[in-house]
Amino acid sequence: MARHLITSAIPYINGIKHLGNLVGSQLPADLYARYLRDRGHEVLFLCATDEHGTPAEIAAQKAGKPVAEYCEEMHAVQAEIAEGFGLSFDHFGRSSSDRNKALTQHFAARLDAAGLIREVSERQMYSNADGRFLPDRYIEGTCPNCGFESARGDQCDNCTKQLDPVDLIDPRSTISGSTDLEMRETKHLYLRQSAMKDELSDWIDRQADWPVLTTSIARKWLHDGDGLQDRGITRDLDWGVPVQKGDQPWPGMEGKVFYVWFDAPIEYIASAQEWVDAGKGDDWERWWRTDRGADDVRYTQFMGKDNVPFHTLGFPVTILGSGEPWKLVDYIKSFNYLNYDGGQFSTSRGRGVFQDQALEILPADYWRWWLLSRAPESGDSEFTWEGFQDGVNKDLADVLGNFVSRVTKFCRSKFGETVPEGGEWGAREHALAEDLTRRVAAYARHMDAIEVRKAAAELRGIWVAGNEYLQAAAPWATFKTDPEIAAMQVRLGLNLIRLYAALSEPFIPFAARAMAGAMRTDLGWPDDVTGALGALPPGHAFTVPEVLFAKITDEQRADWAARFAGTRA
């Protein structure tokens, strides 16, 4: 048994996120955490809300609430949605916690003592219309590198180039839309990432098993153009972690806060401390401090590709530069984007399905299966209502749900609601067991490697194998001539349901529990597939479950497509 630390990129507090955010980090992280727990490993799965910076301030202003109150309310909303999707966090923390505040200030003091922070007098964008300095993310304009017209002041989402607001062509405030911007003098702290370039480059080069998407983005930031640049880590804002050296004032930095991208990844560690504070665990250091036992922990991060630079460069600089024995990430699983029906999700235009809306119209497992089985691993993927309907109906309703329904209802009608005894296996049954043994091993290999789509395809193949057996064995026909053989076939079918429940739990946990409940058995990973196919003995009681997955009708699909089309730009 191994120990696994898993973190998902933490979502911004400002509003409810769309399905692309879900499949880009939290959902595959949950898939992996569930799988590892099912295999008997010790897992600590952490996430949080990212609550600092201008996004929170602006959202609170629009809601007419104090920012702290707004963040508290939205944290509860996001936690409820996460629970609705079955995200099995061991703790869902908050970057505005006292733990994260203290830890952020601690790291800043350590980095300063190591000579990795410098003070810079600079001219920064000030919006006369808004009466404030504008953080990078609240300035938009045209990217000088690729011509993308909605590049932000810190990064172009189209080409991922790191930017400064002054680089943008025709910059404007995203708060007011005003172009009445001017440069004003201010002082800020910069993290000397450039001083760590060689160490970072060597570290990334050693990660031979990382996804190409992850390493290619990291190397692009390291080596393209002028290479890795120093990065501002403070902002002229009211809401955030105050700039201090530990608990001491930082001369010249009064009234400033740390940049959200400096303090947010530190919340991964703080979240483990909060986990202990909440009485859920008793030793956070054994997960994060290599001098306290974390050297035998495997740490895996999940994120969308836009978060990769901060997790491969900025956060590692913080960890390594502190000179303290903190745990570094072992594997970064990054994802491309999920687009919506030929375009992008848009909150402002009401375009696309957002997480609360998704749970209103269908149970979580419908979304979990479709999103994971089509996860944007090798390239961007696209949500269409036709594709969603086709995937749900064929995979979940026709294959898995239909199998469970046919086996349990036939058994009830011919043998009652207990597992029948019947005769011994024949050649067909032994062949099925051998086939499933190979398939389950392949499924486990894909899950171990976090190959999400390949794992989903293998799991579907396991479901299909049971359907093909049932169709070929045809116990409803066999019963007429040899009830003993038919009973054996049904007994195997019921045990297949138990097997499917165990294997499917990481993908569709609610349906898996329903299957296991109907079979009146616990979920447990099948180390011996042949043995698992006989785990429910003759005489074991079961119940016929409700319909696991209802088909999506053409009328529903058309209604939802119209409802979530939004307004096109």
Residue positions forming the annotated binding site for Zn(2+): 143, 146, 156, 159
Which residue matches tokens 């953080």? 135
What radius of gyration, in Å, describes the C-alpha atoms of the chain?
Answer: 27
Euclidean distance between CA atoms 191 and 137, whole angstroms: 18
Euclidean distance between CA atoms 505 and 308, whole angstroms: 29
Known binding residues: 143, 146, 156, 159, 347
Euclidean distance between CA atoms 553 and 502, whole angstroms: 29
Q: Do β-strands 331-335 and 338-340 pair in parallel, antiparallel, or remain unpaired?
A: unpaired
The beta strands (E) that lie in 331-490 are given as 331-335, 338-340, 381-383
Euclidean distance between CA atoms 397 and 399, whole angstroms: 6
| Helices 483-504 and 427-448, axial angle in degrees (round to 10) | 0
**Residue 569 burial (10 A CB sphere; 0-12, 13-18, 19+):** exposed
Q: Do β-strands 248-249 and 169-173 pair in parallel, antiparallel, or remain unpaired?
A: unpaired
Known binding residues for ATP: 347
Euclidean distance between CA atoms 451 and 455, whole angstroms: 6
List strands edge to edge, sheet with 42-49.
Answer: 91-94, 42-49, 3-8, 297-304, 331-335
- Helix (H/G/I), strand (E/B), else coil: 30: helix
